[in-house]
Amino acid sequence: MTLPVESIVTHIQTIRGQRVILDADLAEMYGVTTGALNQAVKRNEKRFPEDFMFRLNLQEVANLKSQIVTSRGWGGRRRALPAVFTEQGVAMLSSVLNSERAVQVNIAIMRAFVALRQVAVSHASLSRRLNELEQKYDSQFKIVFDAIRELMEPPKKKRRKIGF
């Protein structure tokens, strides 16, 4: 069972300056319930320090809900706030969830994190090179450099107005 890297990347979010995956998304990938995943983590909590896994606060949950229009994964939560796992936390999950599927999912998730890092590095490299070229050429090329920078920016999401 292999998960495509592209489908995993859509579940990686940046929270508190770290790339993380929500516990409900991980549970779905592993084929277990969110409760079962969190129970396995709770039984092995020494393996999950704050830089491996942390619980979201109410504001972060509200931000996530506003970003995710559907109510995916929130219905059954009454007691505990969602947990998120960093790349190291996901790696540690493979030792806690000891199944063949867990191993395969972990490999795919690690590949997704690596792919994201490679994209970030190439983007930074391209930006640096563009700055060097801009300093080298005179102002007549300013329009070209501005257009290239605009193309490098991620597309801005258009917010639909609610109501009339």
Please check whether residue 137 lies inside any domain of the structure: no
User: Confidence band (pLDDT; 50, 70, 90) for 1?
Assistant: low
**What CATH number is given to the structural domain containing 109?**
3.10.260
pLDDT of residue 42: 92
CA contacts within 13 A on the Cβ side of 125: 6
Question: CA torsion 97→101→106→108, rounded to 10°?
Answer: -170
The better pLDDT of the pair 42, 135 is held by 42
Q: Give the total number of structural domains in the chain.
A: 1
Please check whether residue 32 lies inside any domain of the structure: yes
Please check whether residue 135 lies inside any domain of the structure: no
Closest CA to 141 of 125, 123, 132: 132
Please check whether residue 150 lies inside any domain of the structure: no
Please check whether residue 164 lies inside any domain of the structure: no
Rounded distance between C-alpha atoms, residue 71 and residue 31, angstroms: 19
Token reading at 15: 């929270």
User: Confidence band (pLDDT; 50, 70, 90) for 164?
Assistant: low
The angle, 0 to 180 degrees and rounded to 10, between the axes of the packed helices 87-96 and 23-30 is: 40
In this model, does residue 75 exceed pLDDT 50?
no
**Mean pLDDT throughout 23-48?**
90
State which residues form the domain around 100. Answer: 5-118
Question: CA torsion 103→104→105→106, rounded to 10°?
Answer: 50
How many C-beta atoms surround the C-beta of residue 107 within 10 A? 13
Closest CA to 23 of 115, 97, 129: 97
Please check whether residue 133 lies inside any domain of the structure: no
Q: Is 0.95 surpassed by the pTM of this model?
A: no
User: Confidence band (pLDDT; 50, 70, 90) for 96?
Assistant: confident
